[in-house]
Amino acid sequence: MNGNFIWLTIGQIFDPTVAAYALATIGLVIHFGFTGLLNFGQAGFMAVGGYAFAITSVIYDWPLWASFLAAILAATVFALILGIPTLRLRADYLSIVTIAAAEIIRLSVKTPEFSDVTGGSEGINGAARAFNDVNPLPEGRWGLMGTPLVYNQDQWWVRIVGWGLVALACLLVFLLMRSPWGRVIMGIREDEDAVRSLGKNVFSYKIQALILGGVLGGLAGVVFILPRSLQPDNYGTQLTFFLYTIMLLGGAATVFGPVVGSILFWVTLSLTDGLLSLGIEAGVLPLTTTQTGPIRFIIVGVALMLLVIFRPQGIFGKKKDLHFA
Amino acid sequence: MPEKTLVSDITDDVIVPGVKKKDPIVVAHAVSRRFGGLTAVDVAHLEIPRGSITALIGPNGAGKTTFFNLLTGFDKPNTGNWTFKGKSLAGVPAFKVSRMGMVRTFQLTKALSGMTVLENMRLGATKQGGENIFISLFKPLWKAKEDEITERAMQLLAKFKLDTKKDDYASSLSGGQKKLLEMARALMSSPELVMLDEPMAGVNPALTQSLLGHIVNLKDEGMTVLFVEHDMHMVNTIADWVVVMAEGKVVAEGPPSTVMSDPAVIDAYLGAHHASDLGTIEGQLEVAEEMESDLIRSEVEQDAEAAGIAVPTHEPAHSTDAASTPVDGEEKK
Amino acid sequence: MLAGIRPGQSARLIAMLIASVVLCLSVVLGGSALGASAAETTASTSTATEQSILVWVRTDADKVGVPNVSISVDGDGGAETGVTGADGKAVIPVSEPGTYTVTIDEDALPAETGYPRPSTNPAKVEVFEGNTEVPAIFFLSPDNAKGAVAAPSDESTSTPTPGATGDAGAGTTTAPVTVDTFWLRFWPQLVTGLIFGLLIALAAIGASLIYGTTGLNNFAHGELVTFGALMAYLFSGVMGLPAVIAIPAAMILGGLFGWAQDAGIWRPLRKRGLGLIPMMIVTIGLSLALRYVFVLLFGPDRLTLPNSTKPFLVIGSVSLKFTDVAGAVIAIVVILGVALVLTKTKIGKAMRAVSDNRALASASGINVERVIRVVWVGSGALAALAGVYVGYYQSLRWDTGASILLLIFAAITLGGLGSAYGALVGAVIIGLIMNLSTLWIPENLKFVAPLVLMIIILLVRPQGILGRKERVG
Ligand SMILES: Nc1ncnc2c1ncn2[C@@H]1O[C@H](COP(=O)(O)OP(=O)(O)O)[C@@H](O)[C@H]1O
Ligand SMILES: [Mg+2]
């Protein structure tokens, strides 16, 4: 072990997984931060998007654009199925229904009965093929030579597209939230009856917000599986909880909060990992190397608690940016 | 004080609860709403006269707020039908009711505290295309309308003396200012019927006079006003017509001058207060004072004398103080 | 709304939080010089390696990893070898993308774990540029022959595959549903379902009392369950105490744990005026942290409580172990006890009064905070008992409670949020639906059935089966 983990930590800043988490969190920010929808099933949206993409591209050999479209459509349909019945109910019902729906998705895709299509508990591998086929970058490896931050053309490609999507999503949220549409959305977060009394179709706005955030979650699901294989157990409730942590790190009702939060989240994980390993090697810490994993998650859990209690507006947020309580 | 609409302009019939109006804007028929065993609203027939100010009064728990909720689509009745401008509203969702020109405020203020005063106002505007998600992305498409809306919002805010607070968060306003903001916001859509649920509750006495003026202005601008109020002085001053509810029913209606001495009204108020802990002489006198009714007062005093109880001295000054206004806080959590 | 944060206050709160985490830890540590052995982690972030294959050798029955299996990988990027770690996983880096064959050495497999499913060894794996941890998973079962090749039949569901969260209760074999066997399978599932329902009820009653008195959706309720299970394991599995001592001890510690949580976290947060939604997110954080504290202390593997698999009671096609019967009896007695407490005692009536209308209860002189404290202690003890129960029935692991959390929620939602009797009814329905559904749908979808049912109930009757309608408008 050496100082290599510092580089790994820096590498998180462009990592496609970090981009995927940021993108999913942007969706969550639309749901929770701006509209006040308590969606505890963002992992389900990611799963739906990821599976739609992987199944259409790997199993049915659809062209890339069609697979992307499939991911978007699947997330939209999922949002409609969840939203139409529940958005009229009390806020905490949505949380229970979404978390249950996400679990239903995960358990269903895992079951061997559907494994012809979903790959069962082993998931689907190779979803990136069609994506890498359209890679315009010339073959080769670039980056900071002499450091581990050197990537080949496909690795660059997924990083560019992943972060490009994040940038687009940020722009979208920025444009929407400064507009009259965003005003209605934020009004709903504050008090939906008041907004209703002013003649706005609250239900329709909530559905729109749910779909929009859900589609971003679905696209995040696609970005998430491009550098790895699709595995059902990645989409447990824990994933949603990580996204909540990221959202609260960056600030729940902000445009760039999810980006900052995601990078911060992963950098912290990476650093603690590295530091713990160093400590263990130096014999300072009475742990085994395999115990560093749980410690990271304990840190995440405790961080989530402390954030909500002491800095609900996010690490960098101002008190007046606090829109939930 | 303002011109009152003449009774003869409102109705020609004998004045009984449910009397027909010459030009009703709202007609409700057989509207009832039950919560479990409790019948909160059971209105046989009621017409609200167009272009005038109607006060809806009644003791706490009489069903006034529930009736508001039913009329505006925020709650669904068990039975009944009602029309607004001749169009049936049964089953019409709240937002459509509002778009048709019937806008309400809430007893417990619903200022959107995480937004600025100006944003609150803008939200009240209608026909802003930018509220469509696709149009909203392109600022040039909604910028002009937004400027128009902002101008109107500023005019209204100035009227309500809130213009200096336009960039403050609504959460920083006082209770009374929030009431004003809510009313101003409701006016952004230029409604035909404004329904105010206890607009004076919690408003600083210094502001009440101007609030009265605002409400009268609404009428002058051609709007119809229906408001719930406990302050009898206010009702007497500005209402053209008074509807009294008790235990869900309309027990009396008529011009303020006569309705206050209607025995049914006295019963309703005394009955309601008897039922609660206010069954004391002081409590009843308070009611009398609240209603500015000498009839009740003398009745209570006679009772007391008969029972050999000393009657507390009467302070004639009525109070527009917020603290004395009964507030039913059980509405929502 | 969040109340303003005074610096002194926040320092105290931090101290309390830390103290309570430490307290929880020390309660757990109480005697655990035990094998917190080679704890392997669930996730690894090897985002910088180029490509790799994740080989995972697991037993078919309970999905436990099989360590020390030799692996050889051969393909476009050359040959590699490896050995699975404590969790049955091995990550084999490969230098080039391409197709690889992954073979596990069947000769070195311990006999009791058995052999891979037919035709799965060697496995073919395609690795694309930049793919890491491409899975190659081998399931071992004593039912399989060494080097077996699949029989030429497409009936592939011959072995029941319980979900990752484990199977509940008396084992039933999956056979094709025919008229003859239907009832043979129905009765065991009915009984298992009832027993499982009682188990869920123990946890759900507590969760619903907490919801009723405080309005809190406690996402860390599963960890109260896990805690009880782990304590029972500590006392009976590690220290070898008899169950009659181990179980009450686990319950007492569970009650203490509930007390500590309320005293250390929830009460200070209530006093601060933290809103319910932020508070709910705090429970999520706590749940995550506790889960991994459990991993750290007890390891990631499945643990077992001393238990006899001998049939104890056989009626027709229903065969129950001693623990099934004893557990059911204890659960019924405890639930009756809770009902008595709720209806007959002063504190129980106070609990219901607080659930009904907190402000009114407080105004009529009930010490609401004390009632809530008692609710937390009781919920902790009940959840611990549920945990003990799960420990005997299905997998006992760091995430045991987390895996039934949604079922607990489903039960209290079904019954009507905040109603203790509703929670009981909801739990029994959940248990029955879950187990009876396996008569028609695949075994491993049985967690899905109650969740779907919950969603449907919410749609047609949002107040739950026994709940009252919410006041709206
Ligand atoms: N959602 C509800 N659920 C149960 N009871 C209600 C509900 N809303 C109002 N009530 C009851 O209906 C009666 C009328 O209430 P309300 O309309 O608020 O009276 P008012 O506005 O005249 O004071 C009261 O007894 C109240 O407790
Ligand atoms: Mg009212």
Is the Cβ–Cβ distance between C237 and C7 less than 8 Å? no
pLDDT one-digit tens code per residue, C70-83: 888 887 777 788 88
pLDDT one-digit tens code per residue, B245-276: 999 999 999 998 888 778 777 777 766 554 44
Q: What pTM was computed for the model?
A: 0.79
CA C464 – CA C426 distance, rounded (Å): 9
What does the DSSP assignment read for A223-256?
Answer: HHHTTB-B-GGGGSHHHHHHHHHHHHHH-TT-SS
CA distance, residue C462 to nearest chain B CA (Å): 16
pLDDT one-digit tens code per residue, B287-316: 556 555 555 556 556 655 655 555 554 444
CA C184 – CA C178 distance, rounded (Å): 10
What distances in angstroms separate CA A128 from CA A47, A72, A138, one per listed residue?
16, 17, 17
Q: Which residue has the higher pLDDT, A91 or A275?
A: A275
Q: Which residue has the higher pLDDT, C119 or B65?
A: B65
Region C326-351: mean pLDDT is 90
In this prediction, residue B284 carries a pLDDT of 57
Is the Cβ–Cβ distance between C399 and C415 less than 8 Å? no
Is the Cβ–Cβ distance between A247 and A32 less than 8 Å? yes
Q: Which chains pack against C, by 3+ Cβ pairs within 8 A? A: A, B
Nearest CA to ligand 1 atom 17: B63
List CB contacts of C386: < 8 A, sequence separation 6 or more. Answer: C199, C200, C202, C203, C225, C228
The ligand that comes nearest to the alpha carbon of residue B56 is: 1
Using alpha carbons only, how large is chain C's radius of gyration in Å?
Answer: 24
Highest mean pLDDT among A15-24, C407-416, C439-448: A15-24
pLDDT one-digit tens code per residue, A87-136: 877 777 788 889 999 999 999 998 888 888 888 888 898 888 889 888 88
What percent of chain B shows pLDDT beyond 90? 52
In this prediction, residue C276 carries a pLDDT of 86
In this prediction, residue C174 carries a pLDDT of 44
Nearest CA to ligand 1 atom 3: C471
In this prediction, residue A169 carries a pLDDT of 97
Instruction: State the pairing for strand pair B249-254/B241-246.
Output: antiparallel
Residue B328 pLDDT class (50, 70, 90 cuts) = very low
Domain spans of chain B, in order of start: 7-111+186-270, 117-172, 281-324
Across chain C, mean pLDDT equals 77
User: Testing the interface with A: which of C139, C154, C219, C281 to mutate, by most A Cβ within 10 A?
Assistant: C281
Q: Which residue has the higher pLDDT, C190 or C155?
A: C190
Among A182, A201, A180, which Cα is nearest to B99's? A201
Among A236, A246, A253, which Cα is nearest to A269's? A246
Q: Pick from A107, A108, A325: which is nearest to C1 by CB?
A: A325
Say which range, A161-175, B23-37, C79-93, has the weakest mean pLDDT: C79-93
CA B31 – CA A286 distance, rounded (Å): 74
In this prediction, residue C48 carries a pLDDT of 38
In this prediction, residue B137 carries a pLDDT of 95
Among C404, C417, C18, which Cα is nearest to C198's? C404
Ligand 1 atom at minimal distance to the Cα of residue C469: 3
**Is it the case that residue B323 has pLDDT exceeding 80?**
no
Overall residue count recorded for chain A in this entry:
325
Residue C44 pLDDT class (50, 70, 90 cuts) = very low
Long-range Cβ pairs for the range C5-11 (8 Å, 24+) = C5/A310, C5/C272, C9/C272, C10/A310
CA A273 – CA C403 distance, rounded (Å): 27
* Plot region of C233 (φ>0 → left; ψ -120 to 50 → alpha; else → beta): alpha
pLDDT one-digit tens code per residue, C233-285: 999 888 888 888 999 999 999 999 999 999 999 999 999 988 888 899 999 99
In this prediction, residue B272 carries a pLDDT of 54
CATH 2.60.40.1120 intervals, chain C = 51-177
Nearest CA to ligand 1 atom 24: B61
In this prediction, residue B298 carries a pLDDT of 61
Return the sign of the alpha-carbon dihedral for residues C401, C406, C411, C412.
positive
CA distance, residue A182 to nearest chain C CA (Å): 22
**Is it the case that residue C207 has pLDDT exceeding 60?**
yes
Region B27-48: mean pLDDT is 93
Most ligand 1 atoms within 8 A of CB, residue of B31, B38, B76, B330 to mutate: B38
In this prediction, residue C33 carries a pLDDT of 31
> Which residue is closest to C215 within chain A, CA to CA?
A92
Name all residues whose Cβ lies below 6 A of ligand 1: B 35, 38, 40, 58, 60-66, 328, 330-331; C 471-472
**Is it the case that residue C431 has pLDDT exceeding 60?**
yes
Reading the block at residue C148, the tokens are: 């077996």
Region B17-41: mean pLDDT is 92
pLDDT one-digit tens code per residue, C282-305: 999 999 999 999 999 998 888 887
Across chain B, mean pLDDT equals 83
Q: Which residue has the higher pLDDT, C313 or A45?
A: A45
**Is it the case that residue C20 has pLDDT exceeding 70?**
no
In this prediction, residue B170 carries a pLDDT of 92
CATH class of C51-177: mainly beta
| Cis peptide bond N-terminal to C122, omega within 30 | yes
Residue B32 pLDDT class (50, 70, 90 cuts) = very high
Most ligand 1 atoms within 8 A of CB, residue of B32, B42, B66 to mutate: B66
What distances in angstroms separate CA C458 from CA A87, A101, C434, one per listed residue?
12, 13, 18
Q: Which chains pack against A, by 3+ Cβ pairs within 8 A? A: B, C
In this prediction, residue B314 carries a pLDDT of 45
Say which range, B5-9, C25-29, C42-46, has the weakest mean pLDDT: C42-46
Region A289-305: mean pLDDT is 86
* Residue B172: φ, ψ to 5°: -85, -5
Say which range, B14-23, B291-300, C87-96, C167-176, has the weakest mean pLDDT: C167-176
Residue B285 pLDDT class (50, 70, 90 cuts) = low
Cβ distance of C296 and A93 shorter than 8 Å: no
CATH class of B7-111+186-270: alpha beta
Q: State the count of interchain CB pairs (< 8 A) between A and B.
A: 97
List CB contacts of C292: < 8 A, sequence separation 6 or more. Answer: A293, A294, A295, A297, A298, A301, C398
In this prediction, residue A9 carries a pLDDT of 82
In this prediction, residue B279 carries a pLDDT of 43
Q: Pick from A8, A193, A301: which is nearest to C285 by CB?
A: A301
Say which range, A153-157, B18-22, B248-252, C391-395, has the weakest mean pLDDT: C391-395
**Is it the case that residue A165 has pLDDT exceeding 70?**
yes
Instruction: State the pairing for strand pair B193-197/B224-228.
Output: parallel
Domains and CATH numbers, chain A: 2-321 (1.10.3470)
CA A147 – CA A7 distance, rounded (Å): 7
Cβ distance of A187 and B126 shorter than 8 Å: no
What does the DSSP assignment read for A163-196?
Answer: HHHHHHHHHHHHHHHTSHHHHHHHHHHH-HHHHH
Cβ distance of A228 and C133 shorter than 8 Å: yes
What distances in angstroms separate CA B85 from CA B22, B26, B68, C424, one per listed residue?
13, 6, 17, 52
Q: Pick from B36, B74, B333: which is nearest to C473 by CB?
A: B74
**Is it the case that residue B106 has pLDDT exceeding 90?**
yes
CA distance, residue A211 to nearest chain B CA (Å): 12
In this prediction, residue A3 carries a pLDDT of 67
CA B127 – CA A200 distance, rounded (Å): 10
Cβ distance of A186 and B115 shorter than 8 Å: yes
Ligand 1 atom at minimal distance to the Cα of residue B248: 14
